[in-house]
């Protein structure tokens, strides 16, 4: 067991479980959680005013059980720790913890504007870390309103939320979480605020963290639902665009159908023209055949009429014109010449008879003389 005396505030802390084989650096890291002072601001002495070296083991200094180590805060930050422990906002605001307030010190005056801003933020973060450890709610709220030191991490990765969870500072934890403190941040030992709540057996701190995570999930779920509803609402005004697209699609389909119908009518018209063309090509040949038949019938009628009306003499004279005078038919026998002479006489006598009478007499004549 070791006793720790914080010289700046006259506070005492007790370490029940500590091994003397641990180094001074290990002790300082532990004291971040026990005393609420970042390790890089600690100056530890034992028996005399000599500073204990970080790499030395505690047993090197031969401490006795129940020995008291004196913890001194670096003098530049000591007024800040004292103002936080006293809960004095007015005094703290004059110590260079707010970027928008004028601050002058031998160190700050030598820094560039950027480095001075970092220096002021560092001072505000130390104040936030110590206030979270001491459960100084007014200081925490004061710093949160100016949005400084909320997610500050020491050299070992410890945050104000971790020390608040370790010591059960529930109101401080709630305030930090309401101002977007990162509950999932880890230190160099891969520990989170939940691990510190379990390590120091603070079930209430663990419950606060669980409730915060549940609330965060619900908010995210509601936000997603709202985004979906907003997206659905935003799609409302776009319905006319959808209707316009549908109208354009229907118009396009109608135009395509009209074009297809026009092509179909054109094809039908073309087929109809081809049909009429073929029919007109066949009609002349048919008419020509009928004309030829009529002309043949007409010629036959004319020939029959001419044969009936004209005399046989005229026919003989016509036949005599076809046969030249200097060429006579060959005479074969006497019998062939006699019918010819008689027939000539016969035609001369009966030249004026009708065609039917002529046929009768001719048949009687042939039957009498040629049988």
Q: Which CATH number belongs to the domain containing residue 50 in this structure?
A: 3.10.20.90
Joined tokens for residue 224: 């997603």
- Say how far apart CA 27 and CA 39 lie, in whole Å: 9
- H or E element that contains 335: helix 334-349
pLDDT reported for residue 185? 93
What is the chain's pLDDT, residue by residue, as a tens digit (371 residues)? 899 999 999 999 998 888 889 999 999 999 999 999 999 999 999 988 888 999 999 999 988 888 999 999 999 999 999 999 999 999 999 998 998 888 888 888 899 999 999 999 999 999 999 999 999 999 999 999 999 999 999 999 999 999 999 999 999 999 999 999 999 999 999 999 999 999 999 999 999 999 999 988 888 888 777 766 666 665 555 555 677 777 888 888 888 888 888 888 888 788 878 777 777 765 555 555 666 667 666 655 665 555 555 544 454 554 444 444 444 444 444 444 444 444 555 555 555 667 777 777 777 777 776 65
Residue at 28 is within a domain: yes
Among 43, 74, 105, the domain boundary falls at 74
Residue in the structure block whose two tokens are 């297809």 = 260
pLDDT reported for residue 50? 85
Structural domain range at position 34:
1-74
Residue at 358 is within a domain: yes
First to last CA, the chain: 179
Domain count within the chain:
2
Among 74, 105, 128, the domain boundary falls at 74
Residue at 266 is within a domain: no
Is the Cβ–Cβ distance between 100 and 145 less than 8 Å? no
pLDDT reported for residue 337? 45
Residue at 233 is within a domain: no
pLDDT reported for residue 130? 95
Residue at 339 is within a domain: yes
pLDDT reported for residue 79? 94
Among 40, 74, 108, the domain boundary falls at 74
Residue at 228 is within a domain: no
Closest CA to 346 of 320, 366, 326, 323: 366
What is the edge-to-edge ordering of all strands in the sheet holding 2-6? 11-15, 2-6, 67-73, 42-45
């Amino acid at each position: 067991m070791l006793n720790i005396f914080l010289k700046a505030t006259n506070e005492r802390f007790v370490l029940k479980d500590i091994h003397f084989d641990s180094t001074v650096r290990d002790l300082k890291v532990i004291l971040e959680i026990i005393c609420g002072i970042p390790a890089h601001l600690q100056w530890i002495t034992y028996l005399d005013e000599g500073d204990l070296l970080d790499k030395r083991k505690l047993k090197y200094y031969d401490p006795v059980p129940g020995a008291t180590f004196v913890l001194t805060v670096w003098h530049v930050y000591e007024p800040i720790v004292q103002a936080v422990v006293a809960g004095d906002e007015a005094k703290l605001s004059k110590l260079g913890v707010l970027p928008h307030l004028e601050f002058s010190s031998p160190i700050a005056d030598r820094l560039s504007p950027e480095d001075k801003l970092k220096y002021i933020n560092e001072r505000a973060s130390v104040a936030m870390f110590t206030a979270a450890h001491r459960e100084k709610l007014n200081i925490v709220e004061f710093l949160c309103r100016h949005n400084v030191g909320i997610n500050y991490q020491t050299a070992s990765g410890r945050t104000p939320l971790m020390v608040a969870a370790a010591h059960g500072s529930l109101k401080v934890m709630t305030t930090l979480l309401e101002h977007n403190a990162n509950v999932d941040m880890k230190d160099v030992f891969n520990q989170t605020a939940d691990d510190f709540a379990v390590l120091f057996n603070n079930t209430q701190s663990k419950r606060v963290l669980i409730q915060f995570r549940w609330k965060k999930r619900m908010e995210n779920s509601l936000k997603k639902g709202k985004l979906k509803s907003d997206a659905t609402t935003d799609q409302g005004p776009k319905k006319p665009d959808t209707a316009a697209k549908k109208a354009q699609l229907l118009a396009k389909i109608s135009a395509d159908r009209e074009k297809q119908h026009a092509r179909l009518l054109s094809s039908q018209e073309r087929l109809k023209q081809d049909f009429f063309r073929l029919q007109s090509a066949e009609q002349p040949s048919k008419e020509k055949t009928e004309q030829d038949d009529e002309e043949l019938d007409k010629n036959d009628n004319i020939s029959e009429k001419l044969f009936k009306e004209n005399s046989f003499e005229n026919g003989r004279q016509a036949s005599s014109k076809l046969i030249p005078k200097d060429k006579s038919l060959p005479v074969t026998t006497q019998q062939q010449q006699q019918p010819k002479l008689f027939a000539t006489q016969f035609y001369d006598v009966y030249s004026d008879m009708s065609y039917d009478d002529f046929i009768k007499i001719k048949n009687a004549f042939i039957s009498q003389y040629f049988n």
